Each structure stands twice: as C-alpha cells, then as structure tokens.
Amino acid sequence: MDKESVAIKARNLTKKYLRGSEEIYAVNHVSLDIRTGEFVSVVGPSGSGKTTLINILGCLDNPTSGRLSIDGQDIFDEGKTLSERQLTRIRRNLFGYIFQKFYLIPTLNVAENIMLPFTFYRKDGAGENVARLLHLLGMEKRKNHLPGQLSGGEMQRVAIARALVNSPRILLADEPTGNLDTVRSDEIGRVLSKLNQEEGLTIILVTHNPKLAQAAHRIIELHDGHVKI
C-alpha cells in the first residue's frame, strides 16, 4: 500500500441518539480522510464525540448516516452495512485497539497475553511478531511476568503488543494514557511515535493529553460532534 493512499475515507458521518424526544448528535456530518501511515490525534472536550467517532472508524459502531470506506472497501453506505461476521473479519484483519484500561488476563504472563489473539485468529507469519514486539516495546525481560508484577506503563505496552500481534494496518487508541502518570504517558507517546515511524503503522489516537496529541502528524479537534476547522 503506498504511503499516500487513503486508509480511511469518511463522508458526512452522523451518529444521533434520542434522549427522550430530543435528538443528540454525537457525531455530526464528519468528513475526513486518513492516509496510510498517518498518525492522527483526535482531541476535544468531554462529550464532543471523540470516542463515538473512533468507534465508527474502527467498525465497532454503526453511523446513523453517511459513508465509510476502509482500504477501499465500503463499510457503511447510507444505512447499508456489513453483517456482524463481516465486520469482525474486517476488525481482526485491519485494526488493533487499545483502551484506557488494559484488560490483560491476570493469570497469563506477558508473552501469553500478547499471544491471546492467536487463540481466535492468526495471520500467516504473525507468530514471529511476538519476539519482535517484545523487543520493540522493551518488554523482553518481562515476558514471563504476570500483569500484577508490571507498572501501568508496562501493562499498556503489553496491551499495545497484543493489539499489534496480528499485524493490523491501523491502530486505534482511545485514551491510552488515561490511567497513567505523566512519565508513563510520555513513555506511551514515544512508543506510538516509534510504531508509526518504524513500522509505518496508521494510528488514530483519542486523547485529552495535549502533549501526547502533539506527537501526531495531524490533530483533528471535535466540538459537539463537528470537526473544528
């Protein structure tokens, strides 16, 4: 895939909810392109629709209207959508997700937690990723440790490795430093930049942390569901 090709193309994406009789627009006619290998931060105040947007872009949620294509494949087109099974296939082939909480299995060690996606699905050659990611994320010496023996930053690094073990094209990170102190947040920021620069990974990062957001090539600011120009 060439570096300038569009990984995600969104047109007029809208997500509205009903609160009683009132219509709430979580995402309001958002159009954007994210290129392959781009590192994009999505910022904005609480309730601005950041998480809803990233969930729609990551095929975890359906928009109410609009169009979305990923890697040239139509995902949503004005109400028409793929089946849950097809969406799961797209999710596991294209996306890696990290969240504020790490959700590591406490009784599995670091290496086992990273390999967890293999129990459900394994891309060809993905087995070699474990050692590479342990090295890349500086967790080689901790691979036999249980999550309870790790710091918050280390746990998030394990969660990142787990998200990347099946070689996704796009990493979606929703407040990955929300549970970490400044030092650990900076550490995760450096890891994400490294992954983008060295691995060419497309990254969409939702954050409240301005310093972390600055690590991206581009910052998208949301206000009341609109992209602020």
Q: Does 131 bind other proteins (CB under 8 A)?
A: no
The answer to whether residues 64 and 75 touch, using CB atoms and an 8 Å cutoff, is: no
Q: Smallest distance from the beta carbon of 166 to other proteins, in angstroms?
A: 7
Q: Does 132 bind other proteins (CB under 8 A)?
A: no
Q: Does 134 bind other proteins (CB under 8 A)?
A: no
Spatial strand order of the sheet with 202-206 comes to 95-98, 170-174, 202-206, 39-43, 218-223, 226-228
Options 8-16, 33-41, 69-77, 98-106: segment touching other proteins (CB under 8 A): 98-106
Q: Smallest distance from the beta carbon of 201 to other proteins, in angstroms?
A: 16
Q: Does 99 bind other proteins (CB under 8 A)?
A: yes
Q: Does 92 bind other proteins (CB under 8 A)?
A: yes
In the bound state with other proteins, the residue whose beta carbon lies nearer, of 9 and 50, is 50
The answer to whether residues 203 and 4 touch, using CB atoms and an 8 Å cutoff, is: no
Q: Does 106 bind other proteins (CB under 8 A)?
A: yes
Q: Does 162 bind other proteins (CB under 8 A)?
A: yes
Query: Where does residue 176 rank: exposed (0-12), middle (13-18), buried (19+ CB within 10 A)?
Result: buried
Q: Does 148 bind other proteins (CB under 8 A)?
A: no
Read out DSSP for 85-98?
A: HHHHHHHHHHEEEE
What residues line the site for other proteins (CB under 8 A)?
A: 51, 55, 58, 60-61, 84-85, 88, 91-92, 95-97, 99-101, 103, 105-108, 112, 115-121, 162-163, 166, 174
